[in-house]
Amino acid sequence: MFVCGVNLNAYKTEYDVISNASCTTNCLAPIAKVLHDEFGIVEGLMTTVHATTATQKTVDGPSNKDWRGGRGAGANIIPSSTGAAKAVGKVIPELNGKLTGMAFRVPTPDVSVVDLTARLKKGASYEEIKKVMKRASENELKGILSYTEDSVVSTDFIGSEFSSVFDAEAGISLNDNFVKIIAKM
């Protein structure tokens, strides 16, 4: 499994089949990489607020996955599983076993959000984190990670070409070692 800007350098031309991972993994991995490379992630919880997908039911009905998965997508906020946090452990081996996550499927047609709440090894103010994310978006992750301080909402990202857009104004910190990072996909 590969994520551009994160572990694409491990790709070998002899691979016959490759995976570019999920949209959630492609949003989470760049911000997790920047955060981990600069400050070290001790552990983290990820939640994605995910737009409706084609696999969801339009009205209540049976689901092979779980009871909630059979509920109508257009009228419910549906808690669900996601493998994105575990997948990040595959593309960033140092984070293997340090992240887990869940999803909420919401009745919106496009654009999803990743919320990464992490405990950091090296303390950093939220302002420092913003500077590091901005620098990464202008350098090594240019074209993959974007950075915004605008007062944006989900529809502002329809048509975005970026895997991940760090929303600088949406994140918060409790202290220098416990932060919540928000990115859009």
- Whole-angstrom distance, CA of residue 120 vs CA of residue 37: 11
Of 23, 46, 88, 114, catalytic: 23
- Whole-angstrom distance, CA of residue 69 vs CA of residue 60: 9
Whether 23 is a known active-site residue: answer yes
Tokens of 14: 């002899």
Residue type, 131: K
Which sequence positions are flagged as catalytic? 23
